[in-house]
Every structure is written in structure tokens, then in C-alpha cells.
Amino acid sequence: MPKRFRLTRRFPVSMTEDGYRRLKKFSAEAGLDEGEALSFLFENFDSIIDEDTFGHRLRIFNSELEARKR
């Protein structure tokens, strides 16, 4: 029996413009709204990410974050 899809949490999110555009593109391609797309991504996070590049990309993002906020 499939799990019932219930949105149980809502939270304010700040995203970069690039991240939001990519979320909108992904959700449109998948036929989901943005909340459903985020739920899918995080429910399946471990099988979606490339473990070999994830840590490196995260370090780059964190190192550029302060400069991107300005």
C-alpha cells in the first residue's frame, strides 16, 4: 500500500536565484509543485546525490556563501 502524501510541515525558505530556478525547472519537468519536488528530493536524498562529489561541492558552496550574500 503506498504511503499517503501529506504535507505536514511548512517553513520559510531562503534560496539563491540559481537554486530557485533549478527547483522550478525540476518541478515542472517532474509534474510536481515546488513543495512536492523538495519532498521528493529530501526523501530520496541518499540515492540521488553523488557521494564522490557532494562533499567537494558543499565546501565550495560554503566558501562562496558570504560573498554571494552581498
Give the pLDDT score at 30.
97
Total domains present in the chain: 1
Quote the cell numbers at residue 17: 536565484
Give a yes or no: residue 56 inside a domain.
yes
Residue 20 and residue 26: Cα distance in Å, rounded? 10
Give the pLDDT score at 48.
93
Give a yes or no: residue 8 inside a domain.
no
Give a yes or no: residue 55 inside a domain.
yes
Nearest C-alpha neighbor of 9 from the set 42, 49, 45: 42
Its pTM stands at 0.75
Give a yes or no: residue 28 inside a domain.
yes
Range of the domain at 28: 17-69
Mean pLDDT to the nearest integer, 25-42? 94
Does the structure show a pLDDT above 60 at 1? no
Give a yes or no: residue 10 inside a domain.
no
Give a yes or no: residue 5 inside a domain.
no
* Top-confidence range, 24-28, 32-36, 49-53: 24-28
